[in-house]
Structure 1
Amino acid sequence: MIAVLIGGMLLDGYILGIVGPVSSAMADELQLSPLWEGLIVAAALLGILAGSPLGGWAADKWGRKPLFTFDIALFTVASAMQFFIDSPVLLLVARLLMGIAIGIEYSVGWPLMGEFSPTRLRGRLLGAMNIAWYGGFMMAYLIGYLLNEYTEIGWRFILGTSTFLALLLFIARLGMPESPRWLFSVGRRDEARLLAQKYLPDDALSDLEHEDVRKGSFAMLFSRQYWRSTLFISGFWFCAVAPYFAIATFADSVLHQYGLAGGLAGGVGLSAVALAGVVITFFLIDKLGRRVLTVPTQWLCAVVLAVIGIWGGAPPAVVLVLFLVFSFFNAGYTTLTGVYPAEIFPTEIRGIGTGFATSISRIGAFVGTFLMPLAIENLGTSTTMLIAAAVAFAGAGLSQWLAPETKGMSLTEAAAGYTH
């Protein structure tokens, strides 16, 4: 079940990572302007922006299972469209639909993982989904680079390789159970207890009985009880991913501006270091707790980006080390963006809360991805890095104020404890 739940995150990382190595060939053949290239690269992010709140609302209303099957089916069809691209518009539409599917995945996959996890392992299991994301991004960049550089396979097929992964995942999801917590929250208690006895660990089984039967709504996200949760999750996630997406997606261009070689070493190198950051966070999160891995590392990354921006004449080796430090620690605290939503939103709004925060985060990712090449061209690399640093400082300040500690709490306790 764990592999099925994390598969969607791997696909999200994959479809974003696969674009970088083929972007030049794609742009040349389709005669893309910088505007079109930015739109196509960011199309999946825009799709996530739309799909995640809709998916979260639907998952809270009709259940996790139907949406979990629908989104992977939509993704498979949209991904297959990439094999037949003949215009920028069709490519934009295909990747937009893939993003919508992934957006639904975010708002269903993380709540499901949280609702099926034992308390003592919940942080690690939720963190594993981020390992899958970074692993998918790095794997895609590596596959795309090797296929593009050493084979005659065209960029259409390279982009379309995500179809094969999606099809396997669709088959694996057939027969997935509904979330017992969701069933309990909508009053289907007998059905929930039967599934809980089969699939939930003992501590989650006992905590299930503390679920309230309440109807969730979008307005609840901004109520007196939950506005802090909504503000923290959304703002933290936005500020975590905006600089990363900008730097990682255009790693070649960014490193080239500082006199460093890009290519395989640049794109995969930054992604590999980021993956290491996620893996280490995975092992520490249930031992050290959430807050200690969230707040100090954000301040560190903000300072690193500021140094890169201010020290325009820094030796290339120093700049590379600073980028690697940023990638490592940024990935570490970004892991918490997948943990917190599942923990501090109650069951009745866990889907829509996660979906809304995902949507806000993808505004950040879109802004970073879309504006990075334009900012470098018009403002210069140093100014662009200082803007990224300002975003990181804002996220660090927000987390210093609002980041909760949920280590060792049941889902019911975590959601209740943050609503003071």
Structure 2
Amino acid sequence: MATRILHGVSDVVSYIDSRTGIRGRAGVIWWLALGGLFLDAFSNSALSAGLGPMTRDMELSSTQIAILTSMASWVALAFNPIGGWMADRWGRIPPLLLAKVLALAGAGIAAFAPTFELVVAGRFFVGAAYGIDFAIAMALLAEFTPARFKSRLNTWQGIWYTAVCSNLLLAIMFYNWNVGDAIWRYAVGAAGVVALTLFILQATFMVESPTWLARKERLERAAASMTKIYKEKFEAAPVEDRIPVVNLATKGVRNVALIFRGTYLPRTILASTVQMAQSIQYFAVGWYLPIISIALFGEGDFVLATLGTLVFNVFGIVGGFSSSFIAGKLGLRKASAIGFGAVFLMLVIMGVFFETMPLWLAFIVPSLFILFHSGGPGANGKSLSTLSFRSELRAGANGIIGAIGSLGAALGLMVFPLLREQLGLGTTFLILALVPLTACIICSVIKWEPTKAAVSPDEELDAPQFADDAAERDAELVR
């Protein structure tokens, strides 16, 4: 077997881009990274299906519900950039494993908590795990994905809704066990089982990203990783023959400034807009679908309301797994703009006709809301931030933009129960419709499209790291 010599990051990127699929050990790593996102969705939605029983079980006020449901997102707001910083400093794998430990701890504390305060404490750990994991997993996925398959990063959205539907099916199973209003404890506990399983699998099979290692000028380790992953012999070139990394960002927290300057600024604005807006609309509406379903179909039948929610989220699976194809055809930006426009229309319909909709329309409109969300902006915020920055900035950028998304999630989770109590569901939907409308306009104005870019961000020749003049940065790119 011939030995492949690695002279620099371009050799690593070129080899990965030349792959005709994501197979073998690389495929295992890719799906295990997605498995972490399954856990994030599973943990985040664990309270959703059982929120009604939990409210009765713990006699929660609307304020307590708002605090409890948004806690994980507020914590993720802080831990998104922390996770990104950890991954850019120490690598992708150690923080991913730490996230599983935190998720397991959070599930255990919440499942057995005798008081509201301890449930909140458990959700703190869940939020920390979610914040760390999401920023890093998406960066890892990008670094194992050949350029021709960039849009496949949107697969995470289908995984998200698969996790939500799994939670709903488990809720029906637990309900049939006659566990009463303690059903939410079983759902939260199940998330701990998933966390433990993923910890074992990721610790066993995952390998450090060779792209990150090469960007960090650790070419010997990059060669060892690639040998392990691709079952071919790789070696680092002699030091004198290596291609130096251009403008390597090594200043830790100061790297954050780079994504708000010059070439990267419009990319950051676009990704942040999509991330925050889709988070608000999903967590203010999609996450509360079990409660909305009860309002639509009546409080007397938990199974019917849960099945209604399951139907809504099946459309999320369809849209989520279709989003890769849609993004491949339209691009991430255009798919987001169209998706936001369609979501805006669905929210207006729900707002105006909520109390008068016939049963068949009450099924169709929320289902279409989830379909348009998951097929467009729901997936694209993470993918936009992941594909817009070079490797040593990628996880950190994901962390910052993910924190903006977590802020949107926290606001959505807090705003919905409070607005619903004060104004009713119809008016709440109309107010929330302003979010996708605004995002649609911004996505129509900024034209950056990473899936159509000529070269990977890891191969771009960026201007001086901390230059203040955007024109100077763009001139350097041309040279």
Do they superpose with TM above 0.5?
yes
Q: Deviations 1:223-277 (Å, cap 9, x if unpaired)?
A: 2332222211111111112112222222243245456786123221211111111
Output the amino acid matched with 2:95.
L
What is the CA–CA distance in structure 2 between the aligned matches of 1:119 and 1:371, rounded to whole Å? 39
Question: Is the Cα–Cα contact under 8 Å of residues 271 and 382 in structure 2 kept in the other structure?
Answer: no
Q: Deviations 1:90-130 (Å, cap 9, x if unpaired)?
A: 11011111111111001110000101111122321x12222
Question: Is the Cα–Cα contact under 8 Å of residues 137 and 271 in structure 1 kept in the other structure?
Answer: yes
Q: Which moved more, 1:145-154 or 1:32-41?
A: 145-154
Residue in structure 2 matched with residue 180 of structure 1 by the alignment = 210
Question: Is the Cα–Cα contact under 8 Å of residues 211 and 412 in structure 1 kept in the other structure?
Answer: no
Q: How does 1:208-219 map to 2 (within 5 A)?
A: 212=246, 213-215=248-250, 217-219=255-257
Q: Does 1:233 align with 2:276?
A: no
Q: Report the 3-state secondary structure (helix = DSSP H, G, I; strand = E; otherwise coil) of the residue aligned with 2:364.
A: helix
Q: Report the 3-state secondary structure (helix = DSSP H, G, I; strand = E; otherwise coil) of the residue aligned with 1:404.
A: coil
Gaps of 5+ in 1: none
Residue in structure 1 matched with residue 172 of structure 2 by the alignment = 145
Gaps of 5+ in 2: 1-28, 236-241, 463-469, 475-479
Q: Does 1:327 align with 2:400?
A: no
Question: Is the Cα–Cα contact under 8 Å of residues 331 and 449 in structure 2 kept in the other structure?
Answer: yes
Q: Deviations 1:287-340 (Å, cap 9, x if unpaired)?
A: 443334222222122122123323456433334322221110111111112221
Q: Does 1:199 align with 2:202?
A: no
Shift of 1:416: 6.8
Q: Deviations 1:6-32 (Å, cap 9, x if unpaired)?
A: 111111111222212322332233232
Output the amino acid matched with 1:161.
A
Q: Does 1:286 align with 2:328?
A: yes
What is the CA–CA distance in structure 2 between the aligned matches of 1:18 and 1:313, rounded to whole Å? 28
Q: Does 1:157 align with 2:192?
A: no
What is the CA–CA distance in structure 1 between the aligned matches of 2:114 and 2:447, rounded to whole Å? 47
Q: Does 1:245 align with 2:283?
A: yes
Question: Is the Cα–Cα contact under 8 Å of residues 115 and 179 in structure 1 kept in the other structure?
Answer: yes
Bigger radius of gyration among the two: 2
When residues 260 and 390 of structure 1 are mapped into structure 2, their CA distance, relative to the original with a 3 A threshold, is farther
What is the CA–CA distance in structure 1 between the aligned matches of 2:231 and 2:438, rounded to whole Å? 39
Q: TM-score, normalised on structure 1?
A: 0.90
Shift of 1:179: 1.2
Question: Is the Cα–Cα contact under 8 Å of residues 313 and 367 in structure 2 kept in the other structure?
Answer: no
When residues 415 and 38 of structure 1 are mapped into structure 2, their CA distance, relative to the original with a 3 A threshold, is farther
Q: Does 1:315 align with 2:357?
A: yes
Question: Is the Cα–Cα contact under 8 Å of residues 15 and 137 in structure 1 kept in the other structure?
Answer: no
Q: Does 1:404 align with 2:434?
A: no
Q: Which moved more, 1:101-110 or 1:45-54?
A: 45-54
What is the CA–CA distance in structure 1 between the aligned matches of 2:446 and 2:243, rounded to whole Å? 29
Question: Is the Cα–Cα contact under 8 Å of residues 47 and 103 in structure 1 kept in the other structure?
Answer: yes
Q: How does 1:89-100 map to 2 (within 5 A)?
A: 89-100=117-128
Q: Does 1:388 align with 2:417?
A: no
Question: Is the Cα–Cα contact under 8 Å of residues 406 and 414 in structure 1 kept in the other structure?
Answer: no
Residue in structure 1 matched with residue 12 of structure 2 by the alignment = none
Shift of 1:389: 0.8
Q: Which of the residues 69, 85, 100 maps onto 1:72?
A: 100
What is the CA–CA distance in structure 2 between the aligned matches of 1:66 and 1:326, rounded to whole Å? 37
Q: Does 1:123 align with 2:151?
A: yes
When residues 200 and 285 of structure 1 are mapped into structure 2, their CA distance, relative to the original with a 3 A threshold, is farther
Q: Deviations 1:196-248 (Å, cap 9, x if unpaired)?
A: 3543699xx9xx97953332512222223322222111111111121122222
Q: Report the 3-state secondary structure (helix = DSSP H, G, I; strand = E; otherwise coil) of the residue aligned with 1:228.
A: helix
Q: TM-score, normalised on structure 2?
A: 0.80
What is the CA–CA distance in structure 2 between the aligned matches of 1:384 and 1:284, rounded to whole Å? 30
Percent of pairs with identical residues? 23
Residue in structure 1 matched with residue 14 of structure 2 by the alignment = none
Shift of 1:190: 2.6
Q: How does 1:234-273 map to 2 (within 5 A)?
A: 234-258=272-296, 263-273=305-315
Shift of 1:279: 1.4
**Root mean square deviation, CA, Å:** 2.7
Aligned length: 415
Shift of 1:41: 1.6
Residue in structure 1 matched with residue 382 of structure 2 by the alignment = 338
Residue in structure 1 matched with residue 135 of structure 2 by the alignment = 107
Q: How does 1:13-52 map to 2 (within 5 A)?
A: 13-52=41-80
Shift of 1:403: 4.8
Q: Deviations 1:380-403 (Å, cap 9, x if unpaired)?
A: 222211111100111111111225
What is the CA–CA distance in structure 2 between the aligned matches of 1:342 and 1:10, rounded to whole Å? 18
What is the CA–CA distance in structure 2 between the aligned matches of 1:374 and 1:140, rounded to whole Å? 25
Q: Which of the residues 418, 432, 456 maps onto 1:374?
A: 418
Output the amino acid matched with 2:308.
G
Q: Which of the residues 14, 30, 35 maps onto 1:2?
A: 30
What is the CA–CA distance in structure 1 between the aligned matches of 2:415 and 2:176, rounded to whole Å? 27
Question: Is the Cα–Cα contact under 8 Å of residues 49 and 290 in structure 2 kept in the other structure?
Answer: no
Residue in structure 1 matched with residue 25 of structure 2 by the alignment = none
Q: Report the 3-state secondary structure (helix = DSSP H, G, I; strand = E; otherwise coil) of the residue aligned with 2:188.
A: helix
Residue in structure 1 matched with residue 197 of structure 2 by the alignment = 168
What is the CA–CA distance in structure 2 between the aligned matches of 1:330 and 1:14, rounded to whole Å? 18
Question: Is the Cα–Cα contact under 8 Å of residues 334 and 443 in structure 2 kept in the other structure?
Answer: no
Q: Does 1:132 align with 2:168?
A: no
Question: Is the Cα–Cα contact under 8 Å of residues 117 and 200 in structure 1 kept in the other structure?
Answer: no
Question: Is the Cα–Cα contact under 8 Å of residues 22 and 144 in structure 1 kept in the other structure?
Answer: yes
When residues 158 and 219 of structure 1 are mapped into structure 2, their CA distance, relative to the original with a 3 A threshold, is same
